[in-house]
Protein backbone atom coordinates (compact mmCIF):
# COMPACT_ATOMS: atom_id res chain seq x y z
CA UNK A 1 0.00 0.00 0.00
CA UNK A 2 1.58 3.27 -1.11
CA UNK A 3 2.15 5.88 1.57
CA UNK A 4 1.73 9.63 1.38
CA UNK A 5 3.77 10.93 -1.55
CA UNK A 6 5.14 14.44 -1.64
CA UNK A 7 6.85 16.01 -4.61
CA UNK A 8 9.36 17.37 -5.09
CA UNK A 9 11.60 16.30 -2.19
CA UNK A 10 13.85 19.33 -2.47
CA UNK A 11 13.39 22.81 -3.89
CA UNK A 12 15.56 25.89 -4.07
CA UNK A 13 13.81 29.14 -4.90
CA UNK A 14 14.72 32.81 -4.94
CA UNK A 15 13.05 35.45 -2.80
CA UNK A 16 9.96 36.85 -4.49
CA UNK A 17 9.25 33.72 -6.51
CA UNK A 18 6.31 31.43 -5.96
CA UNK A 19 6.28 27.69 -5.40
CA UNK A 20 3.76 24.84 -5.61
CA UNK A 21 4.12 21.68 -3.58
CA UNK A 22 2.18 18.50 -4.26
CA UNK A 23 0.82 15.77 -2.01
CA UNK A 24 -0.85 12.47 -2.91
CA UNK A 25 -2.55 10.90 0.11
CA UNK A 26 -2.96 7.23 0.81
CA UNK A 27 -5.62 5.77 -1.43
CA UNK A 28 -9.03 6.18 0.18
CA UNK A 29 -7.93 8.93 2.57
CA UNK A 30 -10.04 12.03 2.14
CA UNK A 31 -8.51 14.27 4.79
CA UNK A 32 -5.24 16.02 3.93
CA UNK A 33 -3.36 18.44 6.17
CA UNK A 34 -0.21 20.49 5.72
CA UNK A 35 2.39 21.43 8.34
CA UNK A 36 5.48 23.60 8.29
CA UNK A 37 8.51 22.47 10.27
CA UNK A 38 11.33 24.86 11.14
CA UNK A 39 14.04 24.71 13.80
CA UNK A 40 12.76 27.89 15.43
CA UNK A 41 8.99 27.41 15.36
CA UNK A 42 8.74 23.64 15.32
CA UNK A 43 5.73 22.02 13.67
CA UNK A 44 2.96 24.44 12.78
CA UNK A 45 -0.40 23.68 11.20
CA UNK A 46 -1.07 25.27 7.81
CA UNK A 47 -4.35 23.88 6.43
CA UNK A 48 -6.73 20.95 6.49
CA UNK A 49 -8.78 19.79 3.54
CA UNK A 50 -11.61 17.29 3.42
CA UNK A 51 -13.54 16.41 0.27
CA UNK A 52 -12.09 19.40 -1.62
CA UNK A 53 -13.10 21.87 1.11
CA UNK A 54 -10.71 23.74 3.37
CA UNK A 55 -11.99 23.01 6.85
CA UNK A 56 -9.31 24.65 8.91
CA UNK A 57 -6.51 27.13 8.46
CA UNK A 58 -3.56 27.98 10.65
CA UNK A 59 -2.14 31.36 11.47
CA UNK A 60 -0.17 32.01 8.29
CA UNK A 61 -0.29 34.98 5.93
CA UNK A 62 -2.41 34.95 2.80
CA UNK A 63 0.69 34.16 0.72
CA UNK A 64 0.12 30.57 1.78
CA UNK A 65 -2.75 28.87 0.01
CA UNK A 66 -3.83 25.41 -0.92
CA UNK A 67 -6.42 23.28 -2.58
CA UNK A 68 -7.61 19.72 -2.83
CA UNK A 69 -8.75 17.95 -5.96
CA UNK A 70 -11.56 15.44 -6.44
CA UNK A 71 -9.07 12.55 -6.22
CA UNK A 72 -7.96 13.90 -2.80
CA UNK A 73 -4.56 15.02 -4.08
CA UNK A 74 -3.59 18.36 -2.63
CA UNK A 75 -1.33 21.22 -3.52
CA UNK A 76 -0.09 24.14 -1.52
CA UNK A 77 1.23 27.34 -2.98
CA UNK A 78 3.44 30.00 -1.47
CA UNK A 79 3.69 33.29 -3.33
CA UNK A 80 6.25 36.06 -2.96
CA UNK A 81 8.68 33.81 -1.12
CA UNK A 82 10.61 35.16 1.85
CA UNK A 83 13.78 33.79 3.43
CA UNK A 84 11.73 32.78 6.47
CA UNK A 85 9.64 30.41 4.35
CA UNK A 86 12.60 28.03 4.21
CA UNK A 87 11.31 24.92 5.94
CA UNK A 88 10.31 21.30 5.66
CA UNK A 89 6.70 21.16 4.48
CA UNK A 90 4.89 18.03 5.55
CA UNK A 91 1.65 16.64 4.22
CA UNK A 92 -0.45 14.18 6.19
CA UNK A 93 -3.54 12.16 5.38
CA UNK A 94 -6.16 10.44 7.46
CA UNK A 95 -8.84 7.90 6.65
CA UNK A 96 -11.22 9.16 9.28
CA UNK A 97 -12.26 12.73 8.74
CA UNK A 98 -11.82 13.38 12.44
CA UNK A 99 -8.19 12.28 12.51
CA UNK A 100 -8.73 9.88 15.41
CA UNK A 101 -6.95 7.10 13.55
CA UNK A 102 -3.85 9.21 13.44
CA UNK A 103 -2.38 10.98 10.48
CA UNK A 104 0.14 9.37 8.11
CA UNK A 105 2.84 11.79 7.06
CA UNK A 106 4.84 12.01 3.88
CA UNK A 107 8.60 12.49 3.78
CA UNK A 108 8.17 16.18 3.17
CA UNK A 109 9.40 18.79 0.73
CA UNK A 110 12.49 20.69 1.84
CA UNK A 111 12.15 24.26 0.56
CA UNK A 112 15.15 26.55 0.64
CA UNK A 113 14.66 30.23 -0.22
CA UNK A 114 17.81 32.13 -1.18
Partner 1 sequence: GDSVTQMEGPVTLSEEAFLTINCTYTATGYPSLFWYVQYPGEGLQLLLKATKADDKGSNKGFEATYRKETTSFHLEKGSVQVSDSAVYFCALLDYTGTASKLTFGTGTRLQVTL
90 versus 113: smaller Cβ distance to partner 1: 90
> Are 7 and 110 a contacting pair, CB within 8 Å?
no
CA atoms within 13 A on the CB side of 101: 11
Stretch that binds partner 1, among 14-22, 40-48, 68-76, 79-87 (CB under 8 A): 40-48
Quick one: which of 30, 58, 75, 86 contacts partner 1 (CB under 8 A)?
Answer: 58
Euclidean distance between CA atoms 41 and 32, whole angstroms? 22
Choices 13-21, 69-77, 78-86, 103-111 (CB under 8 A): range interacting with partner 1:
103-111
Per CB under 8 A, does 108 bind partner 1?
yes
Are 47 and 76 in contact by the 8 Å Cβ rule? The answer is yes
Amino acid sequence: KAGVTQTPRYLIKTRGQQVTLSCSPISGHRSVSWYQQTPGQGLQFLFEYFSETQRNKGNFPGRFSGRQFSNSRSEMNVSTLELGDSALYLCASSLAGQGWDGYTFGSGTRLTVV
